[in-house]
Chain A
């Protein structure tokens, strides 16, 4: 029961999923509060289970201390339910640090994985016909620093995800760097580039620069968590800047206001396309179990989409395929 709009929006999202899909959702949190929200909604009780957890980690709390102090925190209970096999995947809009820490404690890491990675989809320009309008960026915050072997593993995991979930036949994988040349970016990135070039399992397109992130050169972009988190937040920030500029323009001149009014429908479509709610959430890859982390500001639509994404991932056997893909890297 984490996130800025919990429990109302979380429960609304799950209620919507219960009517639209056959997915069984386990809501972990304060049972009376959850039921009080459910009472006001259309839902199908056959598809909803509630597991009581008295505590929750707040968005501003320090994850480690909070998890230590709150043994009955919903994120911790949820992660243990998944670890025990009582649920197939965990979806959370809560404190990201607490989510990652709870998963690290409860989930089993895939054989050979050194560092799990948080992957996020984002909208980008398509350069090639039939290209997916969404690209995958990983890691966006599960790690801080990575070595070359970690980056290679992230590339494999991202490639498998894009192939199975985004249905890209052979995803193009790029390494985020400060230049296109293979030797750029220091020893770690140069070694990663060399190893990725020789890896037959993935379609490596070489280094991609910051200017390529929003273009269609790569379907999967690999980087360490620090860099990925900065890039993702920058992309999110652009939407706010565009909104501010548009609001400012509207106030300045009548003609501009008229122009904005004429563009409003198109802008709404662009806003919908760039809205995080439409994509579900960011999967945490590298564990035998799955976490789909949604934005802290997630509302019902985002939660429902995250639930669908998690179900699709489980149904498609993506985690097992990632494990098999990583076996190939080790071999």
Chain B
């Protein structure tokens, strides 16, 4: 029994060894697409000086977001245990010059990836097209569509971004183009209004025509690194899950059946050990996710399992037995159940883009 399995106890050790059994043939390949800065790395862009420092940082200077490494390792381990094919890609609007340090950082963290794409800023600089240096939607959408064409048939996708730039809008556009919910004309109109690079627009139109229509994107996770109010993302639908930490992300992925309980436990312990989270804070994070309607199935069972794994504080040991009994009798009133989240039917993109443009492209503002 490994050290981690000892920590989890024998019940969870069994869970680690035996994730949900499914017929391997029924499991489609899974693709995880990640943004880099503020999603995987805690990049500091708050000042020009700090931004200029980023390309010169070494791998060991780069700091990952708390819990992200544990989650990425768990995603691969979970897929392998189920015999499912897994592909992990990064799409970043950072320049390719930082690629070496990033690859070294990923190797240091023990994160295996299948590809990474950077934005070639040099061509914009050389041609004097400075407006497109910060433009992300066109670049990312084109790269995502290209990657989709290369993805294994029937692959499902999970996308990970943050609330600093345009990930929520970009990922939602991609998901709806792939699903066939957004026709080419409407997509073109949106991209024109977003003033993306005209060359990219032509490329995206071409790619969108080639994409086989399938509802592939299961979830879009937005890491609320800036603590953007989660309600601002409501108009993106229940497919998009704003999360405050990777424990919340792991919980949703566990509910989706993508990672075993041990993965949630590993991310929780990572936050406790490396990010000064307490067990009570993790419990509060779980409660928050439940209240926001992103977690529904077997939540009391999950809570009990996490308590037994030592990730959440045990509710069974607070006070004497008389106090606990008294508490139960006095406060046995049902808290209202959160409303079940509804799957998005159609996102009102014209309205989103209006708000997006009005807010100067600040993430989340578009949804308000």
The answer to whether A46 and B285 touch across the interface, beta carbons within 8 angstroms, is: yes
Most buried by B among A46, A50, A72: A46
User: CA–CA, A329 to B330, complex, Å?
Assistant: 38
Whether B327 sits at the interface, judged by CB under 8 Å, is: yes
- Indicate whether A24 sits within 8 Å of B281 (C-beta atoms), given known contacts A35-B291, A45-B244, A84-B327: yes
Whether A8 sits at the interface, judged by CB under 8 Å, is: no
Residues of B within 8 A of A32 (CB): 336, 338
Residues of B within 8 A of A50 (CB): 287, 291
Residues of B within 8 A of A84 (CB): 319, 323, 327
Most buried by B among A31, A50, A84: A84
The answer to whether B230 and A52 touch across the interface, beta carbons within 8 angstroms, is: no
The answer to whether B291 and A46 touch across the interface, beta carbons within 8 angstroms, is: no
Residue in A closest to B234 when the chains form the complex, CB atoms? A39
A46 interface neighbour in B230, B244, B319, Cβ under 8 Å: B244
The answer to whether B319 and A48 touch across the interface, beta carbons within 8 angstroms, is: no
User: CA–CA, A47 to B245, complex, Å?
Assistant: 13
The answer to whether A19 and B227 touch across the interface, beta carbons within 8 angstroms, is: yes
Residue in B closest to A34 when the chains form the complex, CB atoms? B291
The answer to whether A40 and B280 touch across the interface, beta carbons within 8 angstroms, is: no
B335 interface neighbour in A19, A31, A45, A85, Cβ under 8 Å: A31
The answer to whether B284 and A31 touch across the interface, beta carbons within 8 angstroms, is: no
Residue in B closest to A33 when the chains form the complex, CB atoms? B336
User: CA–CA, A86 to B323, complex, Å?
Assistant: 11
The answer to whether B280 and A24 touch across the interface, beta carbons within 8 angstroms, is: yes
Whether B56 sits at the interface, judged by CB under 8 Å, is: no
User: CA–CA, A31 to B230, complex, Å?
Assistant: 16
The answer to whether B228 and A42 touch across the interface, beta carbons within 8 angstroms, is: yes
The count of chain B contact residues (Cβ–Cβ below 8 Å) is: 32
A174 CB → nearest B CB, Å: 43
The answer to whether B336 and A44 touch across the interface, beta carbons within 8 angstroms, is: no
The answer to whether A39 and B292 touch across the interface, beta carbons within 8 angstroms, is: yes
Whether A273 sits at the interface, judged by CB under 8 Å, is: no
B98 CB → nearest A CB, Å: 29
Residues of A within 8 A of B244 (CB): 44-46
Residues of B within 8 A of A80 (CB): 330
The answer to whether B292 and A46 touch across the interface, beta carbons within 8 angstroms, is: no
B245 interface neighbour in A39, A46, A52, A85, Cβ under 8 Å: A46
Most buried by B among A44, A54, A80: A44
User: CA–CA, A50 to B231, complex, Å?
Assistant: 17
Interface flags, B239-259, vs A, CB<8A=1, else 0: 000001100100000000000
**For chain A residues 71-130, which have a beta carbon within 8 Å of chain B?**
72, 77, 80, 84-86
Residues of B within 8 A of A46 (CB): 244-245, 277, 281-282, 284-285
Interface flags, A55-84, vs B, CB<8A=1, else 0: 000000000000000001000010010001
B316 CB → nearest A CB, Å: 14
The answer to whether B333 and A42 touch across the interface, beta carbons within 8 angstroms, is: no
Residue in A closest to B281 when the chains form the complex, CB atoms? A46
The answer to whether B319 and A85 touch across the interface, beta carbons within 8 angstroms, is: yes
- Indicate whether A45 sits within 8 Å of B284 (C-beta atoms), given known contacts A31-B335, A39-B230: yes
A44 CB → nearest B CB, Å: 7
Whether B229 sits at the interface, judged by CB under 8 Å, is: yes
Whether B331 sits at the interface, judged by CB under 8 Å, is: yes
A266 CB → nearest B CB, Å: 34
User: CA–CA, A32 to B228, complex, Å?
Assistant: 20
Residues of A within 8 A of B227 (CB): 19, 42-44
The answer to whether B285 and A45 touch across the interface, beta carbons within 8 angstroms, is: yes
Residue in B closest to A31 when the chains form the complex, CB atoms? B335
**For chain B residues 186-233, which have a beta carbon within 8 Å of chain A?**
226-232
Whether B288 sits at the interface, judged by CB under 8 Å, is: yes
The answer to whether B284 and A52 touch across the interface, beta carbons within 8 angstroms, is: no
Seed contacts A42-B229, A48-B288, A84-B327; 11 additional CB < 8 Å A-B pairs: A39-B231, A40-B229, A40-B232, A46-B244, A46-B285, A50-B287, A50-B291, A52-B335, A52-B336, A84-B319, A86-B318
Contact residues of B with A, CB < 8 Å? 226-232, 234, 244-245, 248, 277, 280-285, 287-288, 291-292, 318-319, 323, 327, 330-331, 333, 335-336, 338
List 24 interface pairs A-B (beta carbons < 8 Å), by A numbering.
A19-B227, A24-B280, A31-B291, A31-B336, A35-B291, A39-B230, A39-B231, A39-B292, A42-B226, A44-B227, A45-B244, A45-B285, A46-B245, A46-B277, A46-B282, A46-B285, A47-B281, A49-B283, A49-B287, A52-B333, A52-B336, A72-B333, A80-B330, A85-B318
